[in-house]
Structure 1
């Protein structure tokens, strides 16, 4: 079918098709890792326990795999993954050539799962802040109740600093104000979903990915499960304030053109005000023979319009820059090794 589309309409990409060829009793855990050497053993132990619970209580035919994606870790993460996966056929890993970011790691895991024709996927972090105890409940909703996606939502943000928590709340409010794709407050990447949902996610091939937005954008039947926030047991978070700001900017530019419309509206309003002021100056000069001070007015106008122009160029440039990076069609990641 792809050949026909390419022949008669090279710019049209057919929508993703879900087929019945998936292995319904298969489960793949997608686990992005970055400097998680101190957590991998505990994570694997807990994951195996929960997989056994699923097999005993929900689906005795379950065939589970765990896929670790090493996002260019600088500690012993890759060495530990090599040792863990060497003698266990249910464990696999993908190692990037450098740090490409969590979004790239998630996308690599999604592509692997789709190529493996898995029936159900689970996406979670290796730092144990996503409670593995929720996994059987999530899987049950997918396998038994035929939901498409079940995701985890934090009840609170205990353990985080006040500034980070406040900025996070502000981001959700601003994003939901600007974008038609609404995000659930305190939602996480931790989720379990079926093959239809997976196929739709893999069809979204943008270079600057914002998975939380894509999760909402693709739709389907979703259900949230709340949990208490868990503090990190080992290591430190790789998400600095700078990275979080860049991530928030990526979210807004990926799912909203409201900033561009705001710039256009602001320019229109400033132009109207300029016309009104010019009319005022003419009236004062013609009817009242009053001279309006020129230097202060000109300086204020230069400063205001200069700032507005730079802000507008910055916003427009952000969108153009992302389009430029998308047009280069570079791969989302480069795999150094895998097993």
Structure 2
């Protein structure tokens, strides 16, 4: 059995085990597992509307996953993707509704750039604290998450008539398309998926095809060796966090300019940034892996919404099932070890 076959079998077996355990949970709880999984499938691929909503759900997960994965690849744990995403959301929404008189080909890119810069700036703060004052990025980014939530809400109260009413972004800044809506039965699918996939290419290019990417990975792998070879550790830490925040900020733009299209007060965290950690881990912190991780995570999250309606399964059981599937996929290393042992015994005969 070759390594390529093992690489294919590991996620497949992981998902199958997760589905089996999830079925056992449903059966023990008194629900029909077959009906539950049919409802899950229909919630993901049932018709063009659900497919559109599934892709729409996957889009911000790709960008959040890229943000976490980029930081991981450079030796940093950016747990502040949620805050950076919120700041990107606020910046994109503000530019989207406050800047008037621009054509779409200028206004939309401007709003996306504003989101990327806002997310990058918020991560830059954590990068400076890490590089200059040796403040651990986990602590700094967690605190910045809460600051971002309340700062963005305070800014929105000023921007949007004291927060008394919701301000919709202008059509010239919207990611939505009448064409996409018409072919998906008026789902919220938007062109943000193209932006997300382009960012996958950007991350791959930076890390694998540029000298700067090599430095970023080298610093993450071993600070002392990188410094000894003449690389600026501080500068690369700040740059790595800034680029990571850029991806997160664009994730916020997907929600502001595509999914919701309004400026409004947030009652709490979106959860997308935190889910991005799971997406990055599922994707082994690689650009291509993040696509698959986001696809799995986004599909399960969107499809699960149909399980209570169609199969009558309580949301609490649904959450347990989704968590089990993701848990076993994330535990693929154990399955890999078992397959490799089985393969070595088979070849030794």
What TM-score results when the alignment is normalised by the length of structure 2? Answer: 0.21
Q: 1 or 2, which has the higher helix percentage?
A: 2
Higher relative contact order, structure no. (Cα contacts within 8 Å, ≥ 6 residues apart)? 2
Q: 1 or 2, which has the higher strand percentage?
A: 1
What TM-score results when the alignment is normalised by the length of structure 1? Answer: 0.22
